[in-house]
A and B are shown apart, each in its own frame.
Chain A
């Protein structure tokens, strides 16, 4: 039976709740940008959030056109969605709540999305020749190919998870060490107040590195690898024929 009691008591891990908050922020931002963009006079110069959104859309469209090609025209939207979610998840750790990326299910589902997309794209564009990849040079390689097909999933997942968890563990260790050090140095003060003096500045620098810089780089690497993995599944003749068709339509 469906357990309403458990659902209403919000018995979820903290990271999942952070992930839901991040998704809520993204949905609200998307609605604001959508309404703003439809009301805006296209002849006037965009400002603020709209300008940022337009730069992002243009960047990701160019990115996917360069690496995936015209065979999958709407790929930039997926890329931008994943990038915004991932970057906001990484910097969500700055609020003090747990970052969603430190929960294994979140990077795993992102990696699984890429993994499924790789195989669906391959099956869509090469039809029955898709199964040829499992017996690539000769049929003896079947077990090796069956193992190595999981490599992109594992590497994408563990890269994100490892980076987030390494940053989180290091920050936690430094935080505890500085708290104890501060309590030892200012032991004359009332307990509870003597722990807060040393931590803020070093932790701010470490947070800037591990959450902002590392998060940005990892987001970029994830996007780059996703695009390259999917782009190499599309055969070249399909890209060329799509370009030809588009050229004819333009003329």
Chain B
């Protein structure tokens, strides 16, 4: 019970990361609509940036998994 609660608190760390990912996507879409011929280049950059931003979310996911599954 306690470890489940701790894992639930730890997973809250994905919230800011989701906001950050949304910001990345929003600005990339801005750039695409302003400059449509850059579409493919911007898409590659967006995927890499999303993977980098995701890292912090993955840290908290990792910690919550560790809390749940280690006795």
Residues of chain A having any CB pair with chain B under 8 Å: 155, 158-159, 161-163, 165-166, 169, 217-218, 220-221, 224
Contacts and interface: CB of A to CB of B under 8 A. Distances in A.
A158 B62 contact: yes
A248 B67 CA distance: 61
A165 B59 contact: no
Contacts of A161: 62
A159 B48 contact: no
Contacts of A158: 55, 58-59, 62
Contacts of B65: 165-166, 169
Interface of B: 47-48, 51-52, 55, 58-59, 61-62, 65, 69
A165 B51 contact: no
Nearest to A154: B59
Contacts of B58: 158-159, 162-163, 166
Which secondary structure dominates where chain B touches chain A?
Answer: helix
B41 to A, nearest CB: 15
B59 A220 contact: no
Contact of A217 (B48, B61, B69): B48
B62 A217 contact: no
A172 B55 CA distance: 21
Contacts of B62: 158, 161-162, 165-166
A166 B51 CA distance: 14
Given A165-B62, A166-B61, A155 B55 contact: yes
A32 to B, nearest CB: 31
- Give 8 nearest A-B pairs by CB, closest first: A162-B58, A162-B62, A217-B51, A159-B55, A221-B51, A166-B61, A169-B65, A163-B58
A97 to B, nearest CB: 20
B7 to A, nearest CB: 12
5 contacts: A158-B62, A162-B58, A163-B58, A166-B65, A224-B48
